[in-house]
Amino acid sequence: MRIDQLELLAYGHFQGHKLEFGPNGLHVVFGRNEAGKSTTLRAITGLLYGIAAQTHDDHVHEKKDLRIGGILLGENGERLRVVRRKGNANTLLNDQGQPIDETPLLRMLGGVSQETFRQAFGLDHEALTRGAEALLQGRGDLGESLFDASVGGGGEVQRLLAELTKEADEIYKPRGSTLPLNEALKAFGEAQKQIKERQSLPEAFVTQQRALEETEARRVEASRKRAGLATRRAQLERARSRVPLEQKRAALAASKAPLGDVVRLVERATSLPTRVAQYERDLAARRDLEVERESLRARIADASRRVGGELDPTQIRIDARKEARISRFLQERTALSQKVESAKAEAARSEREVQRLREAMATNVPDTTVLARALAQAQALGDAEARHANNLSKVERKRREIDQRVTALGLFSGTAKELAETTLPAAESIERLLARAAELDRGLARHDERLADLEAQMRESERQIAEQEGEFAPPEPTALRRAREARDELWNRLKKGESNDRLELEAAFERAVREADELADRMIREADRVTTLAKLRASAKVLEKQRLEQLSEREALRASRAALDDEHRALWAPSRIAPLGFAEMKGWLERRRPIVEAFEGLLESDAELADAARDIENARRVLASALDSSDASQSLADLVVAARRRIESAEAAKRVVADATRSMVKLEAQIDERAAAASKDQAALADVCTNLAELVRPLGVPDDASTDEVTHALDALRDLFTLLDKRSDAESRGALVERAAGGFEDDVARLVAELAPDLAAARALDAAVAIVNRADKARQIEQELTSIDARLEELGGAVLPDDVLQLAADADASFAALEEIDAELGETDREIQRLGETVGGIRNGLDMMRRESGAAEASSVAQEALARVRTNVERYCRARLAQVLLSREIERYRQENQGPLLATTSRLFSRLTLGKFSGVRAGFDDRDRASLVCVRATGTEVDVAGLSEGTRDQLYLSLRLASLLRYADIGGPMPLVLDDLLVQFDDERSRAALGVLAEVSSRMQVLFFTHHARLVELAREAVPAPGLHVHEL
């Protein structure tokens, strides 16, 4: 199954966002922080299995509006378009929003549950680290490592197996003693031994029962006595607390009586402290006002003298409007006086300017028409001389660069011109030879590789033959044939009687018979080895034949390659260049082409420089003629500067005459306007002086007084009027203070007459203070009485016996009575304790007489122990059985998948480690368990514990990918979702890992999520464009 398209219709902060995962290849989904990478990961699971009930992706859309859409593709080409909503039932919809059957989706999932999809087909950095750590903790156990990688456990399989073993061992061990099941079995055996029949005598039991009843009656009586003593003690304690309070209350009531009506006194005196303080402030204010009035009288007399003693202040008071008019007239007089003076100065300056303008209008202006035309012709060329010199320098520099490039080109010793004119082979011919040479080189490489492979197979065949032969090789048919021929020859000789020593001949014949029989018997016994050896030897001959054929073909290819080199040298012979390799000469031609093109451009630049030099000389002659210059050494730039200066001088003279004419007309108009304005200002100044004199004359100020004199007179009047206003204000405040003090004194007199007649002769302030003190004392007495009443209420209102009250009145007697009661209580408590112990002893005796109950107790203990045995046996069997089943399943998986998984893992691990490791293989640890062994490129073997942390991560990643590829071959592919898997990989290994993931994506869909921009760059470097698809959130 593949996810062709994922639509975040309304999910998280997304609205209508679409991701196209259709094309094959590695899909990298890049999202910066807060861009929604984690939301998109949750959306994939939500689309396939349903949105989580407690989802937090509803911060923008309401839960009922959450929608995820997508298009899924099955292995058989089936296409399914679905929309998933948040809900409890019927959450899979079609495009129209109608519920649809989930069977097609479940068929595509192939029985993969949500948990399996998350564990097996999802991998992040944390799971990778856990898996690598599990490899280390399991010491590379082969079965556990392969099984854990296949289910995506991240070490969970090893942890589960260890937990099951630990759980079983903590319940029971054959030689354990303190474990739960061991203890329960021991307790059950001991309880069975204690179950015996016991009997007791009835008479002794009845006697003990009667003694128990009598003792319990005496204990009840002692308890009643103690309760009476406790009650008596509590009454006495309460009385001892109550009597002093009642005595204090009576004393307070007696001290309250002389104060009179306490309630009215407190109510009337509530605000009196504040009024007393105010009265004291009023008295102080009365004294301060008297001092202030005396001071103001002296200051007013002084101010009147400064204004003028003969003026009546009431007659010369001026209001703010009149004072403002005086200030305005003063300002206008000053301003108009300044304007009149300024006008006189300006008239003198204008006369001088008229004289200057008349002189400027008489300036002589020369004619520059011809010179301007010549200058325009020269300027049209721009900075021709500098440009010509610059271009000439560039051409010379370019000529030197071309010569240097010709020298650096190598293989050619002439000039650039000779290089351009030399006849060379066509680039197409070199391309053809290069292609043919590459084809021959690939053929040679294939033959070398095939020869190496054949030699490796031959070495393996020889090793297998040697292994089959061992120390005692099985006999060959030729050996049996030779033994039988020797036996038959001896038999024939024995029949013919050829030998003189018949006994020796018979012994030799018997040995020959035994040897032939033994060879025949061995060939029968070792028929399989013989057959295998025959096959291996036949295979070795075939391999040798193939090797010879490959050698022959390789020699033919080498001859073709040599002929191709000869043809190449012939092509370069006319140019007298000794060629290098095909690729080198192709590069040489490519480097020559831009040199020749640059040389041709240089020739064009030389022609352009000659044309520019002619144009410059023509413009120089024309401009020199217009300037009447006969100096042939002057450059065009010098002539242009001289022409500009002459024209600018003439233009400046023209501007001077024109400006002077315009200025003269304007100045004459200004002189007339200024004369009229000056006349108007003088008339206004006379009017202002007249108005000002009328206003200040009543103040005793002369008509021609200066501004400072008028201002000083106004300030003196203002100070006088301010002091008069302050005196009026002080008199008003004094009247208020007198009224307030008189009111307070009247109120105190009435209060004294009503509540304290004994204070009638006292001053008002002293009487008020005395009343306040009495009110404070009355208030304090009331508060103490209230507190005592509350305490008495807490002690309770129950009536105490008279003898108790009388006893409590005498402190010493009551204390002695308490000590006596406490002593009697102690004695009673000891009696009750003694009787309780006696009752306990009698009851223990009765319990021991009930022997039947002891047997029942032992039986109960036995039953309880048996129940614990059952519970722990069940727990032990469940844990041990689960551990055995899981171990067997791990071993079964190892046996069935070890070969294919290790082969794929080796290939992937070698790529991920950049070739530092050639692969992995199955080995055995120090406990003779099958384990993973990593093989370095040098052939050195390293166990999992000897790997670095990063290399263990790469080993676990290889195992996971190999397991997923195995699953894809058997159960069908599923999308592989990776979340920031490579954050701890360096750049080189990240490139290698991304290349591996691109390879895996050809067999199953790979979605690689990351928020690191660097990983996106590395993916573009490691994976060619057609196989990489980058999506940015």
Of the ranges 204-213, 304-313, 913-922, the best mean pLDDT one: 913-922
Please check the confidence at residue 83 and state whether its pLDDT lies above 90: yes
Distance (Å) of CA 940 to CA 676, 771, 904: 118, 112, 20
| Cα distance from N-terminal residue to C-terminal residue, the chain | 24
Q: What is the mean pLDDT of residues 490-496?
A: 80
Look up the CATH number of the domain holding residue 23: 3.40.50.300
Residue 435 and residue 563 in one domain: yes
Give a yes or no: residue 630 inside a domain: yes
Q: How confident is the model at residue 85 (pLDDT cuts 50, 70, 90)?
A: very high
Residue 58 and residue 191 in one domain: no
Please check the confidence at residue 563 and state whether its pLDDT lies above 50: yes
Structural domain including 409 reads 370-423+584-636
- Of 272, 258, 284, the C-alpha closest to 764 is 272
Q: How confident is the model at residue 795 (pLDDT cuts 50, 70, 90)?
A: low
* 259 neighbors 268 (Cβ within 8 angstroms): no
Please check the confidence at residue 442 and state whether its pLDDT lies above 60: yes
Structure-token match 């996810």, residue found: 3
CA distance 705 to 692: 10
State the pairing for strand pair 79-85/14-20: unpaired
Residue 410 and residue 434 in one domain: no
Each residue's pLDDT tens digit, 401-431: 888 888 888 888 888 887 777 888 888 888 8
Give a yes or no: residue 335 inside a domain: no
pTM for the full predicted model: 0.38
Q: How many residues does the chain have?
A: 1033
CA distance 96 to 529: 73
Residue 341 confidence (pLDDT):
80
Residue 433 and residue 565 in one domain: yes
- The lowest-confidence range among 275-279, 345-349, 366-370, 701-705 is 701-705
Residue 197 confidence (pLDDT):
40
Q: How many domains does the chain have?
A: 4
Residue 866 and residue 913 in one domain: yes
H/E stretch holding 726 reads helix 707-755
Residue 925 and residue 955 in one domain: yes
Please check the confidence at residue 194 and state whether its pLDDT lies above 70: no
Q: How confident is the model at residue 678 (pLDDT cuts 50, 70, 90)?
A: confident
Q: Above pLDDT 70, what percent of the chain?
A: 86
Which residues sit opposite 1028 in a β-bridge? 26
Q: What is the mean pLDDT of residues 811-836?
A: 84
- Of 69, 92, 134, 1, the C-alpha closest to 960 is 134
Q: How confident is the model at residue 158 (pLDDT cuts 50, 70, 90)?
A: low
Q: Contacts for 706-713 with beta carbons within 8 Å, 24 or more apart?
A: 707/330, 707/333, 707/334, 710/326, 710/330, 711/330, 713/307
Q: What is the mean pLDDT of residues 350-378?
A: 76
> What stretches of 497-635 show up as alpha helix (H) in DSSP?
502-525, 527-572, 582-626
752: which 2 tokens? 């004294």
Q: What is the mean pLDDT of residues 62-88?
A: 90
Please check the confidence at residue 354 and state whether its pLDDT lies above 50: yes
Give a yes or no: residue 776 inside a domain: no
Structure-token match 């990983």, residue found: 1015
Give a yes or no: residue 1008 inside a domain: no
Helix axis angle for 811-849 and 202-256, nearest 10°, is 160
One-letter amino acid identity for 241?
A: S
Residue 877 and residue 931 in one domain: yes
Of the ranges 254-268, 353-367, 743-757, 950-964, the best mean pLDDT one: 950-964
Q: How confident is the model at residue 149 (pLDDT cuts 50, 70, 90)?
A: low
Give a yes or no: residue 831 inside a domain: no
- The lowest-confidence range among 472-476, 772-776, 817-821, 1023-1027 is 472-476
CA distance 114 to 550: 56
Give a yes or no: residue 627 inside a domain: yes
Please check the confidence at residue 198 and state whether its pLDDT lies above 50: no
Of 619, 636, 653, the residue that ends a domain is 636
Residue 128 and residue 74 in one domain: no
Each residue's pLDDT tens digit, 687-711: 878 777 777 666 666 667 777 766 7
One-letter amino acid identity for 138?
A: G
Number of DSSP helices (H) and strands (E) in the chain, helices first:
29, 13
- Of 621, 727, 673, the C-alpha closest to 294 is 727
Residue 137 and residue 36 in one domain: no
Q: Contacts for 140-143 with beta carbons within 8 Å, 24 or more apart?
A: 140/925, 140/931, 140/932, 140/933, 140/943, 140/944, 140/945, 141/925, 141/929, 141/930, 141/931, 141/932, 142/894, 142/898, 142/922, 142/929, 142/930, 142/931, 142/932, 143/890, 143/891, 143/893, 143/894, 143/930
Hey, which bits of 843-948 come out as E strands? 917-924, 930-936, 941-943
Residue 201 confidence (pLDDT):
47
Give a yes or no: residue 149 inside a domain: yes
* 558 neighbors 444 (Cβ within 8 angstroms): yes
Residue 438 and residue 546 in one domain: yes
Q: Contacts for 618-626 with beta carbons within 8 Å, 24 or more apart?
A: 619/377, 619/378, 619/381, 619/384, 620/378, 622/374, 622/377, 622/378, 623/374, 623/375, 623/377, 623/378, 625/374, 626/370, 626/371, 626/373, 626/374, 626/375
Each residue's pLDDT tens digit, 935-986: 998 888 888 888 888 898 999 899 889 888 888 887 788 999 999 888 888 8
What's CA 531's distance to the chain center, in Å?
70
* 76 neighbors 973 (Cβ within 8 angstroms): no
Residue 145 and residue 166 in one domain: yes
Residue 66 confidence (pLDDT):
93
Contacts of 333 (CB under 8 A, 6+ apart): 685, 688, 689, 692, 707
Residue 564 and residue 438 in one domain: yes
Q: What are the phi and psi torsion angles at 84 (to 5°)?
A: -110, 130
Q: How confident is the model at residue 652 (pLDDT cuts 50, 70, 90)?
A: confident
Q: How confident is the model at residue 853 (pLDDT cuts 50, 70, 90)?
A: very low
Each residue's pLDDT tens digit, 3-21: 999 999 999 989 999 999 8
CA distance 771 to 283: 20
Of 599, 621, 636, the residue that ends a domain is 636
Give a yes or no: residue 394 inside a domain: yes
Residue 852 confidence (pLDDT):
45
Contacts of 159 (CB under 8 A, 6+ apart): 134
* 632 neighbors 621 (Cβ within 8 angstroms): no
307: which 2 tokens? 């204004």
Please check the confidence at residue 308 and state whether its pLDDT lies above 70: no
Q: Above pLDDT 90, what percent of the chain?
A: 11
Q: How confident is the model at residue 997 (pLDDT cuts 50, 70, 90)?
A: very high
Longest dimension (CA), the chain: 199
Residue 200 confidence (pLDDT):
44
Hey, which bits of 774-880 come out as E strands? none
Mean pLDDT of the chain: 80
